[in-house]
């Protein structure tokens, strides 16, 4: 994984140069996960993730941003840091989705929140979110996350 870090950064830069923001952000997202899994210091990863959220916001890459927020929440919890800022970003995205009637975005945000609850075995919060969010499986019918949450 360590050998993929530099090429993924180059892929991100190349995507930006040719105007392919989707591919650029996919490279950046993959790079962030690889940094996490290589065992790099969590404080270093946190700084990179926070910078990446700003980039994803500027490039309007909400789906990739959600995955980065999910990873940042995990890093902060592992470091024993309060995760309120991540929650505020996700809540802001839910508010935007509700005002636009964007069920896809709200479903995706809720599934990302579920990922963190389940990862930390916060079952009460997970069940409460499923009850509040409704049937997100309709949107995620072909994903593993829709199957993973059938038990809730």
Per-residue pLDDT reduced to its tens digit, 18-57: 999 999 999 999 999 899 888 889 999 999 999 999 999 9
Q: How confident is the model at residue 10 (pLDDT cuts 50, 70, 90)?
A: very high
Q: Where are the alpha helices (DSSP H) in 3-102?
A: 5-18, 21-37, 42-58, 62-79, 84-100
3-class DSSP state of 39:
coil
For 82-130, write each residue's pLDDT tens digit. 767 667 777 777 887 788 887 777 777 777 777 777 777 888 988 888 8
Phi-psi region of 121 (alpha: psi -120 to 50; beta: other; left: phi over 0): left
pTM for the model stands at: 0.67
Integer CA distances (angstroms), 111 to 20, 84, 100, in order: 26, 18, 19
| Residue owning tokens 């829709």 | 146
């Amino acid at each position: 994984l360590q050998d993929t870090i530099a090429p993924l950064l180059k892929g991100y830069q190349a995507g930006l140069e040719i105007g392919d923001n989707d591919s650029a952000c996919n490279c950046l997202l993959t790079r962030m996960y690889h940094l996490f899994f290589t065992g790099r210091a969590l404080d270093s990863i946190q700084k990179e993730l926070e910078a990446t959220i700003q980039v994803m916001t500027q490039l309007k890459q909400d789906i990739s941003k959600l995955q980065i927020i999910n990873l940042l929440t995990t890093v902060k919890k592992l470091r024993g840091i309060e995760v309120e800022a991540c929650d505020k970003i996700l809540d802001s995205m839910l508010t935007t989705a509700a005002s636009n009637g964007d069920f896809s975005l709200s479903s995706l945000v809720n599934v990302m929140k579920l990922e963190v609850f389940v990862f930390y075995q916060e079952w009460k919060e997970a069940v409460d979110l499923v009850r509040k969010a409704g049937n997100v499986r309709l949107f995620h019918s072909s994903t593993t996350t829709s199957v993973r949450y059938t038990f809730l």
